[in-house]
Structures are given as C-alpha cells and as structure tokens.
Amino acid sequence: MGVAETCEGTTGGGGFGPRSGESPVRVIVGALPFDPREPAALWQPETAVHTAGPWRPAALPELPDVRVIREIPSAAEHIARVTKLVDQLGDPANELRKVVAARSMVLEAEAPLDPEVLAGHLLTRHPAASVYVVDLSVAGRPGEILLGATPEVLVARHGDRVSLHPLAGTLPRRADPDADAAQARELLSSTKNHDEHAFVIEWIRQQLEPVCTELHIPDAPELLSTEQVWHLATPINGVLRDPSTTALDLALLLHPTPAVNGTPFGAALDAIIADEPQRGFYGGAVGWCADDGDGEWVVAIRGAELAADRRTLRASAGGGIVAASDPRAELAETTAKFRTLLGALDCHVPED
C-alpha cells in the first residue's frame, strides 16, 4: 500500500499497485469497521500515487506531548471481564470457544496532531509494519482519522494468487535476551496459544476452500516478533477458483477473523457487542482494491482513532480469550500491544 492523496492513506509497503507515479487505474481505498453491520469508510480517490518502494515522510517534526487520561475499562474491570469469560468458555454447554476481549486508552495531546507526521514516527519506529492512515468521513465521522502500525496481513490478491499471514497467540517481549528467547520458546510450546491460533486457521480454511482450487496451510505456526510481542503466525497461500473474485471480496469474506472476533463467529460477535463499547474501526480492515481485482488488506490493530479536534485519540488493544486463559496475563498482553502506538507518541503506558 502507499499514499492516496485524497484519503490520507499511508502504509509501510509499496504503492497501490505495480507502477510508479500517478495511476490511471481506478482503486477503492479505505477501511472496514469491526462490526460488518456498521458503515464502512470506502471510496474511490481522484488520484492514487504508486511508490517504487515504501512510503517515507518528507520530514519528521517532533510530536506534541501526549498523555493517557482514561482507561476503558480499568485494568481491574478488564481482569474481571476476562475471568467471567474464562468461566463461560469452560462451560461445555456454552457454544463459545474463543472471544477477543479488548480495552481502550483515551489519550490527549497538548497540541493538534498531524496524522501524516504521526504515521512517519510509527514507520520509523516499526519499519516492518504496515502503517495506515484513513479518513473516516465517508463513514459518517467527519474529520476523524484511523491510524496505526499493524503486523497482520488479512489478505492480499495478485492475479489468481491469494496470500494471508494471520496472527493469534501472543506473549510480551522481554528486555533481557535470554528471558526473551525463553518467552519465544514458551509461546511456541503453549497448548493454550496453539488452540487460540487453530481457531483462526480453521475459520480461514472454511472460508477460503470454496473459493480456491489450491490452498496451502502449514501444519504448524511459526514465530513472528514485533518490538513489543511474540506472535504465532501462519503464512497461507492459495489459488483462486474464479479470477473475478477481488481483493475486496476476499476481505469481506474473511473479516473479522477469530483473531479479532472469536468463535463461533456470530456468538463471539454478539458477546463482544454486548460487553464492550462500540469498537468502531479497531479490529477492522484497511486496504485497497484496484479495478483489476488486485489489492491488499491488513488488520486494523496497534492503532487508534483520532478525533476531529486532532488532540484526542482512542487507542485499543485486545487478546484472544479461551478456557485456559490467565486473566492477568491477558491484561499484560494488551498493555504490551498498546506500546506500539504509545511508544511512537513517547507517551507513558500505565502499568498493570
């Protein structure tokens, strides 16, 4: 992905397609909300700029001071909610098997934030991430911006080839190299995290098998690291059955996966909507789709929604809860995930 001049869209990848410069190829860009029933922020920009390589900011001014002014819910309330979910998930009579529980931090900046400058700081701090900035005006939220730096590819489509890189199963990184290596080994051998990951992979398999003639899914996940956390990740590749299936079709087919929702799909979605404030575009998808069907969509995590005043942000982070989850460990996981955005803002992250 790259920069769309009319939508403030920026990412750490290449441009919206294979060519450099202004493109005559029409594209749809924007974001899908977490709840598929809510309005999407999708539109066709007047121009799309393709970059030969990753987008880089022209300059990187300092950001204003930012502080956390509220946690929704509080740490104690999040632990209580996860404890309740663990009890529900352990009940054989309950159809729920996994629910992603999220919490938010409301941040306040001393002066207005420039979304593109913040994107530049995110990219500098997380060069391997897909950095995104999306104007949410067309979703009925004038002046609001979705931004972040995600490590997770929902789906990419190039010709008849499809690729995905789902993440599920997480442990925080450690400062000490030996402890960090031990943390990675623990994640790779964790039955709880493998079970959490398996729910995601099985959902993707069920959704893609009808639309693919070939689907290659490794038998076991691999490790993927960001600055803050270790993830279990599975690279998936397929060949489309019908070449008219577009990247946007695939994003709508797959989103939201159990990595941000849970399983079974409907029951998990209902549980989240009942227990959490509206997620908006957190856990949604950001991307583009060209008129030839090619495109890329990433999962809208490790980010925030920036209010029209440019001074208030709502950052969100979540974790997959299964019957074997430890509520305090789940709280620590969300805290680690907040550091992706808050670290780029040089904002103190409240400790658990």
**How far out from the chain centre does Cα 258 lie?**
12
**Does residue 52 come out as left (phi exceeding 0), alpha (psi in the -120 to 50 range) or beta?**
alpha
- The question of whether 38 is a catalytic residue gets the answer no
At residue 216, what is the residue type? H
Q: How many CB atoms lie within 10 A of CB 261?
A: 28
Give the pairing type, strands 295-299 and 303-306.
unpaired
Q: Which residue out of 144, 152, 296, 330 is catalytically annotated? A: 152
Local structure of 274: helix, strand or coil: helix
Q: CB count, 10 Å around CB of 182? A: 12
Q: What single-letter amino acid sits at 45?
A: P
Give the three-state DSSP class for 270.
Answer: helix
Six-digit token string for 276: 């959490």
C-beta separation of 166 from 201 below 8 A: yes
329-350 residues labelled b (16+ CB within 10 A) or e (exposed): ebbbbbbbbbbbbbbbbebebe
Torsions phi, psi for 335 (to 5 deg): -60, -45
Of 282, 328, 296, whose CA–CA distance to 130 is shortest?
296
* Distance of alpha carbon 199 from the chain centroid: 17
Residue 152 annotated as catalytic: yes
Locate 288 and state its tokens. Answer: 């583009």
- Kindly report the length of the chain: 352
The residue among 301, 335, 333, 303 whose CA lies nearest residue 320 is 333
Per the DSSP assignment, residues forming a β-bridge with 67 are: 108
Q: Is 101 helix (H, G, I), strand (E, B) or coil?
A: strand
| Catalytic-role residue among 84, 95, 98, 108 | 98
Task: Report the distance separating Cα 270 and Cα 225, nearest Å.
Answer: 31
226 SS3 class: coil
Residue positions annotated with a catalytic role:
98, 152
